[in-house]
Amino acid sequence: MGPGSAVHIPNTNMLITGGKEPHLFILNQNNMGKFNASGDTYNTIYKCADCVEGRMYASPIVWKQDNLGYFVYAWSEYGSFKQYRMTVIGATRAVIEQPVFRDNNIIASRFGGFITISSNEGIARTGIAWASHSDRNPNIVKGGILRAYDAEDIGNELWNSQTQADRDGVGFYPKWVAPMVNEGSVYLPGFSAGGGDTAQATQVNVYAHLAPRIINMPDTITIDTEEKYAAIKLNVIATGAAGGFSIKWYKDGMELIENQHYSRVDPKTASVIILNAAASSIAKGGSYNMQVVVSNTQGQTEKQFRIITTLEPIREPSLPPVATSSVKPKPSTVTPKVSKVIPKVSIPKPIPKQSNPAVSSAVGYKFCSILVFFILLSTML
């Protein structure tokens, strides 16, 4: 028990420590209890069995937040960073509850992570949990990482030294090293060169507030004048601007105060992205004087002016619309002629009657007899 030392629990007579077993122990600093050889146990106030995944080479850390109470932080070897809520009952009794937050994305190598808490006493939203660890097996000298977490919820990582490694990298990491915080700066020793079993030089990395600096501002912006509310999108990239920024527009020496602006600060890169909503006075083809001021949390500022020219977006050429008449045609009063088609009907030809020779000769004989009779009668008269 106790390879990582014991830490005092504020406002109590108790200590908390860990060991090469995956447990956390709470002791009475005035009566530590001693080791019970017959039972191979420790006479402790409280034992949090299997609270961590592996051996505890680093000390667990305690922080009391004014509104939320006590928190315990621990990072064992081959395990994840854990945050526990601790209930303190009087000066000599405490109970550690199950972890309330953890960072499961990072698994430490051998020896785990070494933790320091910085805060403005117990004031809410001021606590930062700093943790350093090797990125590989630290039996030989390898690279290290320094991380910063929200102490109220370590699931929220605020920053780490690998985000911009060329500027913030730890270098080669020595074993058993915890970050030290003093007057707003974080100190972490390291090796500047070498590797393997030996290192060639030593160094101390000092992390502090970046002086605000504007890295990039555009010379032109684009305004879509076809939109009813044409939004101006303007990106200003700065470092060390966690304290905020302000932006103002000027035209012919007059400030355009009706413009509204919005911002988003990326805490990992400390860059500021400004989205400025256009007012009616911002138009295409204009030239404006823009002032941007960025600041850090220490009150340091940087100010830049830039002449901004507004442009209209380039659009693909489109074909002209087909002309259409809006006059409706009048209905026609002429009745259209309809040609009737008479179908052809085939009329059958009459079949000629067959004459009877006997009947014909008889009729002819009677006719001749009557004719002779009338002739004789005429002669007699």
In tens digits, what is the pLDDT along the chain, a chain of 381 residues? 667 788 999 999 999 999 888 889 899 999 887 777 776 566 777 888 888 888 888 899 999 999 999 999 999 988 899 999 999 998 889 999 878 888 777 878 778 899 999 999 899 989 999 999 987 665 667 788 999 999 999 999 999 999 888 889 888 888 788 999 998 899 999 887 655 555 566 789 999 887 787 777 777 666 655 554 445 556 677 777 667 777 777 777 777 655 445 555 555 455 555 554 444 455 556 677 778 787 877 788 888 887 777 665 565 665 566 555 555 555 555 555 544 444 554 555 555 555 454 444 554 555 555 655 556 555 555
Domain that holds residue 106: 7-207
Which one-letter amino acid corresponds to residue 213? Answer: R
The whole-number pLDDT of residue 316 equals 60
Instruction: Say what the pLDDT of residue 201 is.
Output: 63
* Residues 279 and 160 reside in one and the same domain: no
Phi and psi of 333, rounded to 5°?
Answer: -95, -5
185 and 119 inside one domain: yes
The first and second tokens of residue 29, run together, are: 């600093």
pTM (two decimals)? 0.62
pLDDT at 210: 78
261, 222: one domain: yes
Same domain, 183 and 228: no
Among residues 232, 313, 236, 234, which one has the least CA distance to residue 280?
Answer: 232
Q: How many other CB atoms sit within 10 Å of the CB of residue 184?
A: 11
Q: pLDDT value at position 296?
A: 78
What distance in Å separates the CA atoms of residue 22 and residue 377, rounded to the nearest whole number? 172
**Rounded CA separation 353/288 (Å):** 119
* SS3 label, residue 135: coil
Pair 88, 47 in one domain: yes
pLDDT for 369: 59
- The predicted structure's pLDDT at residue 359: 42
Q: Is 44 within the bounds of a domain?
A: yes
Judgement on whether residues 20 and 127 belong to the same structural domain of the protein: yes
Are 171 and 30 in the same domain?
A: yes
